[in-house]
Structure 1
Amino acid sequence: MSTLRFYAIKKSLNRKPVKIEENERRSALFGRNVFNEDKMRQYLTKEAFNSVMDAVQNGSKIDRSVADHISTGMKEWAISKGVTHYTHWFQPLTGSTAEKHDAFFEPIGNGRAIEKFGGGQLVQQEPDASSFPNGGIRNTFEARGYTAWDPTSPAFIYGTTLCIPTVFVSYTGEALDYKTPLLRALQAIDTAAVDVCKYFDKNVKKVNASLGWEQEYFLIDSGLAASRPDIQLTGRTLLGHSSAKGQQLDDHYFGTIPLRAMQYMRDLETECMLLGIPVKTRHNEVAPNQFELAPVYDEANLAVDHNSLLMDVMHKVAERHDFKVLFHEKPFKGVNGSGKHNNWSLSTNTGVNLLGPGKTPMSNLQFLTFFINTIKAVHDNEELIRASIASASNDHRLGANEAPPAIISVFIGEQLTSVLDELQNVTNGKLSPEEKTDLKLNVVGKIPEILLDNTDRNRTSPFAFTGNKFEFRAVGSTANCANPMTVLNTIVANQLIEFKKEVDALIAKESLKKDEAIFNILREYIKKSKNILFEGNGYGEAWEKEAKKRGLSNFKTTPEALKAKVSKKAIKLFEDLGVMNKIESVSRYEIEMEEYVLHIQIEGRVLGDIARNHVVPTAVRYQNILIENVKGLKEIYGDGFKKLAKEQMALIEEISSHIESINSNVTKMTNERKISNNIEDLEIKAHAYCSKVKPFFDDIRYHCDKLELLVDDELWPLTKYRELLFTK
C-alpha cells in the first residue's frame, strides 16, 4: 500500500469523534443569527420597520433616508452579537456564493475611530466585477459592478460577519447573478397567478411560489479524499474499480446513521437553526456514505438563498469533522449519484395552496386550473426545462439507474389521468345542467378523495405531481436552485397569462359563463398537452422511441440541451415577462457553455496526469516484480520455468497491453484537447469537447480500473472505492 494511502486510512481509523454540545431546544436556536421580523421590531423605528415590511410584501422601494435608520438598527444588532465586519452576500454565475468583507471600523482622526455603517453601504456596493463570469456583457477594462440589497431575504450573521443578501448587476444594469432573474420571475408569476385567482376569490392579492429542496450529498473522510487528486480537483473520481460490495444489498438506505456522520449532522443542524434554515429531515441515502437533508418549504427566493448558504456551511462544518462533502452528481461509478429535488407550489395570501384540492367544487376547479396550466407550460417548454438543469456533472446522472432520463415528461398518477380523460370529453360551448352536475359532483368534487389515496411515485419521472406540489426531480445536487426555478416560474406565468386571455375571450365572444369558459379552455389544454404525460418506466428504450414519436426532445448532453436557452422562443418569453433581456439570455448561454468546456478540460488534464504519473508507473513497478520472479524461476528450473511461469507471463503481457492502451488514449485525448482549444466558436468548441475529448475518459478509465485489479494492493497509490465508501 502506498505511503500516502496507508497514512490516510490509518488517520481515518484512529480519529476521535467530535463532541457536540446541545443544551438548548432547536426552536430556541432558530433564527437567532437572523435579522428577522422580531429583531427588526426591536432595533428599528416604526417608520423603518414598516418600510422594510412594505418592500417585502409589496415590492415597494425603500427611501434612502429610511435606509439610514435601517442600517443603524442592523449595525447595533450585529455589534451586540460580536460582529466586526459586514459584506454584501451574492450569487454570481460561478455556481458558488461571493462576499467581500468590510469592517464597521472607521477612523475619524486624532487617533479616534467609530463603528460606521450607513444606508448607502447597506443599499449598494461596488465590487470588482472583472473576474466574475459575464458572458460578454462587459469588457474586461469595465470592471464596475453593483450589488444591491434584497430586503425580501433577511440579513444574517455568520461568524463575526453581517451578511446582507444582494443582487449583482453590471454597470449597464444587466443581471450578473442568479437572484435577479429569479426575483423578476417571481414577480411575473405573482401578477399572472393573482389575475387568474380572481376568477375564484376576489380577496387574493398576492401569490407566492414556494420551494422545498432536498439536498443529497456524500461524506468522505478528508484524509482519504486528500489522497485522490481527482476528488480534490474535480469533485469526483475519474477512475476507480467498483467495490465488491456497493449498494446492491440496499442496506444503507434509511439505515442507522453512522455515529460520525450523525455528529456532523447535529453540528450542521445547529448552524442551520441559528441561520434560520428550517432543516427538518435527515437520512441515509441509497449509496454507501451518501446522505440527504431537507427543510420545511419556504418562499422560493428565500429557499434558494438558504440552499446556497447551506452548501457553504456544509463545507465549513465538514472541516471541523475531518470530512469532505461531495456535491457532484456522480462522484462514484456504479452507485447512485446525487440530486436536489425541487418541490414547487403556489400559495395565496389567503392561505390556499393552489396545487392542493379544496373542500368545494369551486376550489377544486381552481386546483385543476393551476394543475393543468402547469402541465401545459411544461409541455410547451420542455426543451427549456431540460436546459435549466444541464451541466457537465448532471450529464453523468441523468438517465442513470437512480435519476430521471434526459427526456422531460410529467407523471400525475392513474387517478388524475382518469380525471383529465373525463374533463377532455367536456362539451364544447355551453354545458347542459346535467353536464354541470356530473362535472362538479362526480369529477371535480371527488378530487380530494382521489388524491387522499394517491401515493403513486415514479422515480424515473423528471417532473412529478406528488399530491399538493410538483417535484422537479431532474435538478442536480450541485445546481443553484434559482436556475430551474427562474425557468419554471416564468413558463407557468406566461401560460397563466395566455389562459386568462383565452377565458376572457370566450366569455366575451361566446357569452359563456366563467366556469363553462374555464372548462372549455382546460379541455383544449388537456388535448394539447397529452404527449408530455407518461406513467411508465423512463429508463427503457421503448420510452425513447415513444418520446420521439410524441415529438419530445432527448438531449443527452449539455451542449445539445443549452441551445434552447437562446432560441427565439425562449428569448421572447423572457423579454415579454421582463425576466431577462436578450443580452442576459445570450450571456448565460455563453457562460454555461464555457463552464462546460472548462469542466471537461480540467477533468481531461487531471485524468491524463493520474493515468500517466500514478497508474502507469505503479503498473510498471509491479510488472518489474513479476519479471524478476520469472527470472528467478528460470534460474532455478531452466527450460522448465515456462510451465511454472505461465500465469506470470500472461499477467506481464496483460499489464503491458493496458499500459499501452492508457498511453495511447491519453496521447489521443491530449491531441484532441489541443485541437478543440484552438476553436474560436464557443458552441463548436463545446461540442468538440463533448464528442471528441470526453469519449476518451471511459477508455482510459477502463484500462486503469483493470490494472487496479491486477496490481498488488500494497503498491496501488490511490485510495480505493471500498475505502472511500465504507470508511465511517
Structure 2
Amino acid sequence: MTPTLPPPNGALRVPARNVLRDVEKAFGQNTFGLAEMKSRLPKSVYKRLTATVERGEPFDETVADAVALAMKEWAVERGATHYTHWFQPLTGRTAEKHDSFITPNAGGGAVIEFSGKSLVQGEPDASSFPGGGLRATFEARGYTAYDPTSPAFLVEHNGSATLCIPTAFASWTGEALDHKIPLLRSLEALNRQATRALALLGEDVGRVTATCGSEQEYFLVDGALFEDRPDLLVAGRTLVGAAPPRGQEFDDHYFGSIPERVMAYMNAVEAELYALGVPVATRHNEVAPGQYEFAPVFEDANVAADHQQVMMMTLQRVAKRYGLACLLHEKPFAGVNGSGKHVNWSMSTDTGLNLLDPGDTPHSNLLFLFFCTAVVQAVHLHQDLLRASIATAANDHRLGANEAPPAILSVFLGDQLSDVYEQITAEGKATASKASGFLGLGSPVLPTLPRHAGDRNRTSPFAFTGNKFEFRAVGSSQSVSFPLTVLNTIAAEAIDDLTTKLEAKLGRKRSKKAVEEAVQEVITESIREHTAIVFNGDGYSDAWHREAVEERGLLNLATTPEALATLTADKNVAAFERYDVLTRAELESRQDILREQYALTLNVEAATTESMAKTLVLPAALRYLMEIGEAAEAVEDLGLDTWGARETAGGVVEHVNALRTALGALAAARAAAHEADDEAAAMTSEVVPAMATVRAACDALEKEVPADLWPLPTYRDLLFTGK
C-alpha cells in the first residue's frame, strides 16, 4: 500500500492564530501574575502574597479567599468556565481534573463560585498515579496544594478556557507523589546554604534561588504520515525504518531557512507561549532534517519547570492545527540526531547577583570561585545521581551516540577557567586570567568581534558556558524538575561542606584578608580533591572513556538499570534526607517507578515491533514474492532466463526467514524478561538486542520491497515531506 502523502509543500495554508502584534502588551496576558494580582487584590493581601512569592515566606492562608475571588473574576472575564489543579505526578506528564465554577442554588439556578478552600486544596485519586510502594492501591486519598510561587494560567480551547492552578501533589500521609514538592524543597535547601555562605563572604542578601533556562528540541512530521506509523503513535519513535539515501550528512539543515509551514507553526506556538508568560527567545532548525528547537531565557527554577511542561503541551497541541505531529521522543529516528533538553542552570540572589558570573577577572573573583568550586565538587561526588536523574529508556538511545554527551559525567570549564584552576592546584592561588581578546575577520567592512577566552564543548554533559552550567544530557521528553532537584540538592550539600570548612579555618577571625586567605585554602583543597571530574577534551573518544574509568575512577553507567541502581546509594539518600528534600521511602519509590516505567516502555516497544513485523512487513514481503513468482513464470513461458528473478526472490526469502527467526527470539526474550527477578535488567540485556535483530531484518526487506507494496511511510517521507 502506498502511504497517503500530504498536499504539496505550501498547499496547506493555515493562518497563525493569535499572532502577537504587540509582544510587550500580550506577554503574560493569560497568566494571573503579580501585575494582575496587584491590580485586583487589596494592598494588604497583595503584600502578604508577594512575601511568599518573592521572599519565600510561609503562605498566609487567611488571604486565600481574597486571592480566589480575584483569580476567579479574572478567569471568568477571559472566558473560563472551569478550573483545575494542574500538577505533575510521577508519570513525567501533567495531570488535571476540571471542576466547573457553577454551583446550583436553592432557587433552581446557579451561581459562579470559587472559594479559598477550593484554591488551596484539591483531592484527586492518588491510587491512580504511580506511588512506588508509598501507598497501597486501596489507599486512594491524595491532596493537591496551591503553589502561589508559580502563576495560574488560562488554557484556551474551542471558544472557552480553563483556569490552570499549579499545585503540588501529596499522599494522605504527606509523602511527595510529584516532582514539584521535592523541587521546592531543594530550592529551600539551596537558599539556606547559599545565604549562609554569602553572609560569611560579606554579602548581604535575603534570598538565593536557582535559575533555569531549558532548551527544547523536537521533530515535526506530517500528521497524515504520523498516523500511518503504528510505532510513532504507540511508542513515540520508529521501531523499524531503513536509512534514507540522504540524511543529515550535508549539515545543511542546521540553522537553515525555516520552511514556511513550520514557520507558521512556530509563530502560533510563540503566540500562545508569550500569552502564557513563557519567555521563548530562540527558534531555529536543529541538526537533523525535520528537527527544530525553542529556547527560553532564564527564570526561577520552579516556574521554569512548570513552563517547560506548558511548552511541551503547547508544541504538541498546536501541531495538530497545522496538520503536523510534534515528536518529543529522544530518538524518534535511527541514524540521525536525537533530541535533548539542555538545562542551563545557575544561582542568583534577590539583589541581582549571579553567583556563577566570573566577571572580567575570574582569578580574583573569590565569590564566583567559591560557588563554582562547590558545583564541581557536587558533580564529582554525585555523578551517579546526576546520571540517574536523566535515565530513561528513550535517553539511553541518545547518550553517547555522537550527537549528545556520553553517559560518563564530566565538567567542562573552558580554557580561561581551567587555567585559573590549574594555577590554584599548583600554587594554591591564581594570579591571572587569560584575556578574552578580539577577533579580526580580514575585511575592513566586517566589525572586529570580541572573542571569548575559551571555546565551547558540545561533547560535555556538564559544561560551564560563561555565567552558568549547562546540563546537556537531559532528555527532550523529560520533566526538568527531577534533574533540577538533584542539582539544587547536591549543590546545597557542597556549599554546606565548603562553608563549614571555611568557618573552621576562620574561627573568630572575620577580617577581609582572613576571609580571602581562608577561601583560597578551601577552594584549593576542594579542587585538588575533585579535579578528576574536569575534562575539556573530546567526550566521544575511546581514549577518554578508558581514561575516565581506568585512570580517573569515573562512572560509566551506560544503561538506565545501571544508573537507577545508584539512586538509593547511602550517600545519595543521606544527601536528600539531610536537606529535607526526599526521605529514603520517597527516593525508593522513585527508583521503583523509574525501573517499572523503563520495563513497561521496552515491553510496549517490543510488542509493537512484533505486531508491525507480523502484520505489515511480512505480508508486504510475501506479496512481493508472489509478484516475483508470477513474473518469473511469465518470463519462463517466453523461454527467457529467469536468473535475476530467482536471485531477487532468494534475497527476499533470506530476509523473510531471518525475520521469522528474529521474531521467535524476541518473543522468547520477552517471556524470559517477564519471569526474571530483575525485569528491567533483563529487558536491557535480552529484549533490546532482540528488537534490534528484528529491526535489521525489517529494514533489509524495506530496501527490497517495491514502494507501492511497502505499508509504512519511509524515513524519506517522514523527514523530508510536507514541511
Structures share a fold, TM > 0.5? Answer: yes
**Is the contact between residue 345 and residue 354 of structure 1 (CA under 8 Å) also seen in structure 2?**
yes
2:98 alignment counterpart: 101
1:720 alignment counterpart: 714
Structure 2 CA distance for aligned equivalents of residues 633 and 589 of structure 1: 63
How big is each residue's C-alpha offset from its partner over 1:630-652, in whole Å with a ceiling of 9 and x where there is no partner?
A: 22222221xxx5xx222211221
1:471 alignment counterpart: 470
Which residue, 707, 710, 715 being the options, matches 2:701? 707
1:555-634 equivalences in 2 (<5 Å): 555-634=557-636
**Is the contact between residue 200 and residue 362 of structure 1 (CA under 8 Å) also seen in structure 2?**
no
How big is each residue's C-alpha offset from its partner over 1:243-266, in whole Å with a ceiling of 9 and x where there is no partner?
A: 111111111110110000000000
**Is the contact between residue 201 and residue 515 of structure 2 (CA under 8 Å) also seen in structure 1?**
no
Structure 2 CA distance for aligned equivalents of residues 80 and 326 of structure 1: 35
1:696 alignment counterpart: 690
Instruction: Report SS of the residue matched to 2:54.
Output: helix
2:400 alignment counterpart: 399
Instruction: Report SS of the residue matched to 1:325.
Output: strand
Instruction: Report SS of the residue matched to 2:528.
Output: helix
The residue type equivalent to 2:495 in the other structure is L
**Is the contact between residue 169 and residue 177 of structure 2 (CA under 8 Å) also seen in structure 1?**
yes
Structure 2 CA distance for aligned equivalents of residues 669 and 229 of structure 1: 18
The residue type equivalent to 2:615 in the other structure is N
The answer as to 2:203 corresponding to 1:202 is: yes
Instruction: Report SS of the residue matched to 2:342.
Output: strand
1:51-62 equivalences in 2 (<5 Å): 51-62=48-59
Structure 2 CA distance for aligned equivalents of residues 706 and 670 of structure 1: 20
The answer as to 2:14 corresponding to 1:18 is: yes
Instruction: Report SS of the residue matched to 1:710.
Output: coil
Instruction: Report SS of the residue matched to 2:638.
Output: helix
1:431 alignment counterpart: none
Structure 1 CA distance for aligned equivalents of residues 276 and 508 of structure 2: 54
Deviation at 1:359, TM superposition (A): 6.3
The residue type equivalent to 2:333 in the other structure is F
**Is the contact between residue 391 and residue 564 of structure 2 (CA under 8 Å) also seen in structure 1?**
yes
1:443 alignment counterpart: 432
Structure 1 CA distance for aligned equivalents of residues 532 and 319 of structure 2: 45
**Segment of structure 1 superposing worse, 13-22 or 693-702:** 13-22
2:65 alignment counterpart: 68
**Is the contact between residue 12 and residue 221 of structure 1 (CA under 8 Å) also seen in structure 2?**
no
1:91 alignment counterpart: 88
**Is the contact between residue 55 and residue 151 of structure 1 (CA under 8 Å) also seen in structure 2?**
yes
2:542 alignment counterpart: 541
The answer as to 2:278 corresponding to 1:289 is: no
Instruction: Report SS of the residue matched to 1:189.
Output: helix
Instruction: Report SS of the residue matched to 2:580.
Output: coil
The residue type equivalent to 1:601 in the other structure is N
Instruction: Report SS of the residue matched to 2:453.
Output: coil
**Is the contact between residue 223 and residue 322 of structure 1 (CA under 8 Å) also seen in structure 2?**
yes
Cα separation, partners in 2 of 1:714 and 1:362, compared to 1, 3 Å = closer
1:138 alignment counterpart: 135
* TM-score (ref. length: structure 1): 0.94
How big is each residue's C-alpha offset from its partner over 1:128-184, in whole Å with a ceiling of 9 and x where there is no partner?
A: 111111101001111111000000001111121111000000111111111110000
**Is the contact between residue 426 and residue 519 of structure 1 (CA under 8 Å) also seen in structure 2?**
no
The answer as to 2:448 corresponding to 1:454 is: no
Structure 1 CA distance for aligned equivalents of residues 351 and 609 of structure 2: 56
Deviation at 1:653, TM superposition (A): 1.4
1:251-262 equivalences in 2 (<5 Å): 251-262=252-263
Deviation at 1:197, TM superposition (A): 1.2
Deviation at 1:11, TM superposition (A): 4.6
**Segment of structure 1 superposing worse, 284-293 or 109-118:** 109-118
1:262-661 equivalences in 2 (<5 Å): 262-358=263-359, 364-426=365-427, 439=430, 442-443=431-432, 453-508=452-507, 513-549=514-550, 550-637=552-639, 641=640, 644-661=641-658
Identity rate of aligned residues, in percent? 46
How big is each residue's C-alpha offset from its partner over 1:377-409, in whole Å with a ceiling of 9 and x where there is no partner?
A: 101111111111110000000011211111001
Which stretches in structure 2 are left out of the alignment for 5+ residues? 439-449
Structure 2 CA distance for aligned equivalents of residues 59 and 535 of structure 1: 38
**Segment of structure 1 superposing worse, 462-471 or 363-372:** 363-372
The residue type equivalent to 2:287 in the other structure is V
Deviation at 1:13, TM superposition (A): 5.4
Instruction: Report SS of the residue matched to 2:365.
Output: helix
1:3-42 equivalences in 2 (<5 Å): 3=2, 5=3, 8-11=4-7, 15-20=11-16, 22=19, 24-42=21-39
**Segment of structure 1 superposing worse, 305-314 or 356-365:** 356-365
Structure 2 CA distance for aligned equivalents of residues 179 and 40 of structure 1: 23
**Is the contact between residue 64 and residue 120 of structure 1 (CA under 8 Å) also seen in structure 2?**
no
The residue type equivalent to 1:475 in the other structure is V
**Is the contact between residue 461 and residue 471 of structure 2 (CA under 8 Å) also seen in structure 1?**
yes
Structure 2 CA distance for aligned equivalents of residues 361 and 698 of structure 1: 49
Question: How many residue pairs end up in the alignment?
Answer: 703
**Is the contact between residue 213 and residue 345 of structure 2 (CA under 8 Å) also seen in structure 1?**
yes
Structure 2 CA distance for aligned equivalents of residues 361 and 627 of structure 1: 75
**Is the contact between residue 358 and residue 448 of structure 1 (CA under 8 Å) also seen in structure 2?**
no
Structure 1 CA distance for aligned equivalents of residues 186 and 16 of structure 2: 41
**Segment of structure 1 superposing worse, 298-307 or 656-665:** 656-665
**Is the contact between residue 186 and residue 208 of structure 1 (CA under 8 Å) also seen in structure 2?**
yes
1 or 2, which has the higher helix percentage?
1
1:147 alignment counterpart: 144
Cα separation, partners in 2 of 1:284 and 1:625, compared to 1, 3 Å = same
Structure 2 CA distance for aligned equivalents of residues 62 and 507 of structure 1: 37
**Segment of structure 1 superposing worse, 199-208 or 124-133:** 199-208
The answer as to 2:233 corresponding to 1:244 is: no
